[in-house]
Structure 1
Amino acid sequence: MEISVFLEHDEKDTQNVKQAKALYKALREKDRETIAKLLVDDPVWDVSPGFPDGGVYSGMAEVFGSFYSKLRNRFRSFSAIPEIFIDGGDVVTVLGFYKFEKNEEDSFRLVRFAHTWGINIDGRIKGVWQVADSAQFITSGEAET
């Protein structure tokens, strides 16, 4: 399924799941204004070791100026395809796939991920704890030690 099906099918979603879906959509569309409204002022991205540029990124400048800019430079195309949203109260866990293409000669690959988004009492997203099938990046030559 395409990403838009999962992000727009929301009649039974909780408010927290709607927030997570809105963030995926805003990230895909690079809608900075909506991203800023959905996130706390100093979000934290905890990206699993083995994932390209894995580490902990704190604040908008590190998350978007460092992590995402490095990630975009590594791939010809890269996107997240969320499939399952699980509301745990103050967290929303999302299971899905990264879809990426290293270069023009490379075919698209899919890599499983789990994102757990922290949600504060005001409904803003505090950040993400991310894990992915990092071995897929190693076999495609994308992971660094």
Structure 2
Amino acid sequence: MSDVLDDSAGDTKNLRQVKALYRVLKSKDQQSIREILVDEPVWDVAPGFPEGAIYRGIAEVFGGFYPKLLAHVHTFGAFPDRFVDGGDTVVALGHYRITKTEDSPPVLVRFSHVWGVNEQGRVKGVWQVADSAQFFAA
């Protein structure tokens, strides 16, 4: 079975872009992240999720949201399980895998990411919902 982030022959350009974004976010390749995202992406993180708010622009997303979120955990990763391609909207269904401390077992937290993609194929941002109860129970 292939990795869900691998591109397949039937993937549209927008689906390939969203998959590429997950790959570069995992690698923390800032140059590639900036090439895939629009200049002012919007991260709309569900209220109730840790640091839930609307973040606008690269500085707020990567200098505000992620550092604050990562302060709550020892490790954090997003693992999409399935994609739904709606053209200029791509939905990723999956789970976060988090550990709260070095010795704690990983906890899986379900999420839905709704990604917007512009006419040039750049990702505009995400609307995120997740099972915050699982996050806080970890």
Tell me the distance in 1 between the aligned counterparts of 2:69 and 2:4.
24
Q: Alignment partner for residue 119 of structure 1, among 117, 120, 124?
A: 117
Query: How far off is 1:11 after superposition?
Result: 2.3
TM-score relative to the length of structure 1: 0.91
Identity in percent:
54
Please provide the CA RMSD for this pair: 1.3
Is the contact between residue 7 and residue 19 of structure 2 (CA under 8 Å) also seen in structure 1?
no
In the comparison of the two structures, how many residue pairs are matched? 138
Amino acid at match of 2:128: Q
Tell me the distance in 2 between the aligned counterparts of 1:74 and 1:139.
12
Query: How far off is 1:9 after superposition?
Result: 4.5
Tell me the distance in 1 between the aligned counterparts of 2:52 and 2:119.
28
Tell me the distance in 2 between the aligned counterparts of 1:102 and 1:10.
35
Unaligned runs of 5+ in 2: none
Alignment of 1:91-102 (within 5 A): 91-102=89-100
Please give the secondary structure, in 1, of the residue aligned with 2:60. helix
TM-score relative to the length of structure 2: 0.95
Alignment of 1:1-145 (within 5 A): 5-140=3-138
Tell me the distance in 2 between the aligned counterparts of 1:105 and 1:123.
41
Unaligned runs of 5+ in 1: 141-145
Please give the secondary structure, in 2, of the residue aligned with 1:64. helix
Tell me the distance in 2 between the aligned counterparts of 1:33 and 1:138.
33
Query: How far off is 1:102 after superposition?
Result: 0.4
1:76-130 CA-to-partner distances (Å, cap 9, x unmatched) read: 1100000111111111000000000000231000010000000001110000000
1:44-76 CA-to-partner distances (Å, cap 9, x unmatched) read: 000001111000000000000000111222211
User: Which aligned segments of 4 or more residues in structure 1 are displaced greater than 4 angstroms?
Assistant: none
Amino acid at match of 1:40: V
